[in-house]
C-alpha cells in the first residue's frame, strides 16, 4: 500500500467538507474518485497533498504518517498533486515550468534526462518549449501541468479533473497520456466528475457524495453499472 487514508476529516472555516473518508492506493494502481461537483473531490486531494490541514484521521504515504507535513515535504516524498486549473507558473517558459517540476534535489540532478523523456511523451510541449506558459492554449496548459508532474520523482500522481474546460478532442488526448503514464508503472489517483474516459486507467473506482464514499469497487464492475452512475453523477 503506497497511500493509506483513514477517517479523514477536512474543510474550510466553519464548514466541514470531508466527514471521515477511507481510501487506499497500491503501487502501480489506478484509482478514480468519482463524484459530482462540490462534494469534496478537490478537498480530498488538497488535504492529502497538505495544502489543507486535516482535522482528523490519518494519512500514510509509503509507510510514513504525513498528516502534519507541509505540502513541500509531501511533494518531496513523492506524492505529487496536479491541481485543478493547472496552477502553472504563468510568466515562466514551458521549459522552466517543467524544470520546476524537478525542484526536489534528487530529481534536479536528473532534470535533463527527465525533460527529454517528457518531451518524448508529450511532443507538443517540445515545440512550445520557449513559450511563456500563460500564452498556451487550454490543452497545452493541461499537458504542461501533467508533464510537470512527470518531472517530479513521483511515486503517486494525484490528478484533479483533467478534462475540465477542454474541448472533446483534447480530452481524449489527455486521458490517453494519463493512461500511458499509468501503464509505465506509476500509481495514479484521479478525481473526476464523469466516468466517460476513465475505463482505460481505472483499476478501482470510488463514488464520493457529500464528503463520504458511498460506493467502492473494481472499475469494470462499477463502470458497467450505468444506472448507478447515472443516479450518482446525473
Partner 1 sequence: MRLFWLPTSDETDMSQLLQAAWGGVLAGSVYGLMAIGLTLIWGAVRLLNLAHGALYVAGAYAAWIVIDLGMPLAVGIPAAVIAAGALGYGMHATIIRPMLGRPGWDSATIIATVGVAIALQAAILLVFGPRVKQIPAVIPGSTVISSVRISYQGLVIVLVAVVSLAALFFYLRSSRQGMAIRAISQHMDAAALMGVPVQRTYALVMVISAGLAGLAGVLLSSVLFLSPTSGFTPMIIALLVTIFGGLGSVKGTIVAAYLIGILESSVQVYLGGAWALPALFIFIIFMLIVRPSGLFGVPEARRL
Partner 2 sequence: MTTSDSISPRAADLIDRAAAPWRSPKWGAISSLGVFALILPAVLLRFGAGTFMVHLLISFFLWSVVAQSWNLVLAVSGIYSFAQIALFAVGGWVTGVLSMSFGWNPWLSLALAPIVTTVAALIIGLPSLRLRGVYMVLLTLAFHELLRNYVTTGPRVISGGGYGLIGVPRLDPGPLSGFSHLVPSYYLALIFFTVATFAIWWVFQSPIGVAFAALRDSEGYAVGRGVDQFRIKLFLFGFSAFFTGLAGGLMTHYLGSISQSIFAFSVLINVLAMIVIGGWGSFGGPIVGTALLLGLQEGLRDLSDFRTLVLGLALTSVAVLAPSGLWPIVRDGFRDFLDESADVEAESEGGRALLADIGDGSGNDSSPQSATPD
Contact residues for partner 2, defined by CB under 8 A: 12-15, 85, 87-91, 133-134
Q: Which residues bind partner 1 (CB under 8 A)?
A: 49-51, 70-73, 75-76, 80-81, 83, 87-92, 96, 99-101, 103-104, 108, 134, 148, 152
In angstroms, rounded to a whole number, what is the distance separating the alpha carbons of residues 44 and 161? 13
Residue 152: name its binding partner from partner 2, partner 1, none (Cβ under 5 to 8 Å by kind): partner 1
Query: Shortest distance, CB of residue 38 to partner 2, whole angstroms?
Result: 11
Residue 232: name its binding partner from partner 2, partner 1, none (Cβ under 5 to 8 Å by kind): none
Q: Whose Cβ is closer to partner 1: residue 90's or residue 123's?
A: 90
Grid cell for residue 149: 508532474
Q: Whose Cβ is closer to partner 2: residue 87's or residue 224's?
A: 87
In angstroms, rounded to a whole number, what is the distance separating the alpha carbons of residues 29 and 25? 6
In angstroms, rounded to a whole number, what is the distance separating the alpha carbons of residues 186 and 131? 28
- 46 neighbors 54 (Cβ within 8 angstroms): no
DSSP conformation class of 92: S
- 161 neighbors 191 (Cβ within 8 angstroms): yes
Grid cell for residue 134: 500563460
Query: Shortest distance, CB of residue 129 to partner 2, whole angstroms?
Result: 18
- 29 neighbors 189 (Cβ within 8 angstroms): no
* Closest CA relative to residue 232, chosen from 33, 2, 97: 33
Residue 13: name its binding partner from partner 1, partner 2, none (Cβ under 5 to 8 Å by kind): partner 2
Query: Shortest distance, CB of residue 25 to partner 2, whole angstroms?
Result: 25
Q: Whose Cβ is closer to partner 1: residue 104's or residue 118's?
A: 104
Q: Whose Cβ is closer to partner 2: residue 97's or residue 163's?
A: 97
Residue 108: name its binding partner from partner 1, partner 2, none (Cβ under 5 to 8 Å by kind): partner 1
In angstroms, rounded to a whole number, what is the distance separating the alpha carbons of residues 106 and 94? 21
Amino acid at each position: 500500500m503506497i497511500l493509506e487514508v483513514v477517517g479523514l476529516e477536512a474543510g474550510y472555516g466553519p464548514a466541514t467538507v470531508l466527514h471521515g473518508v477511507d481510501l487506499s492506493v497500491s503501487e502501480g494502481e489506478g484509482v478514480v474518485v468519482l463524484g459530482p461537483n462540490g462534494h469534496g473531490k478537490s478537498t480530498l486531494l488538497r488535504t492529502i497533498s497538505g495544502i489543507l490541514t486535516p482535522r482528523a484521521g490519518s494519512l500514510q504515504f509509503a509507510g510514513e504518517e504525513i498528516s502534519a507535513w507541509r505540502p513541500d515535504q509531501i511533494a518531496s516524498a513523492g506524492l505529487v498533486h496536479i491541481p485543478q486549473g493547472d496552477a502553472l507558473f504563468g510568466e515562466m517558459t514551458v521549459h522552466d515550468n517543467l524544470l520546476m517540476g524537478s525542484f526536489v534535489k534528487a530529481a534536479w540532478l536528473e532534470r535533463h534526462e527527465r525533460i527529454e523523456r517528457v518531451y518524448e511523451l508529450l511532443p507538443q510541449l517540445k515545440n512550445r518549449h520557449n513559450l511563456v506558459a500563460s500564452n498556451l492554449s487550454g490543452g497545452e496548459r493541461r499537458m504542461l501541468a501533467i508533464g510537470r508532474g512527470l518531472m517530479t520523482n513521483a511515486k503517486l500522481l494525484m490528478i484533479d479533473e483533467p478534462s475540465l474546460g477542454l474541448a472533446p478532442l483534447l480530452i481524449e488526448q489527455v486521458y490517453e497520456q494519463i493512461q500511458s503514464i499509468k501503464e509505465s508503472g506509476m500509481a495514479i489517483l484521479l478525481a473526476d466528475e464523469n466516468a466517460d474516459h476513465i475505463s482505460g486507467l481505472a483499476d478501482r473506482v470510488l463514488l464520493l457524495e457529500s464528503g463520504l464514499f458511498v460506493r467502492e469497487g473494481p472499475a469494470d464492475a462499477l463502470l458497467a453499472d450505468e444506472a448507478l452512475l447515472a443516479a450518482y453523477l446525473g
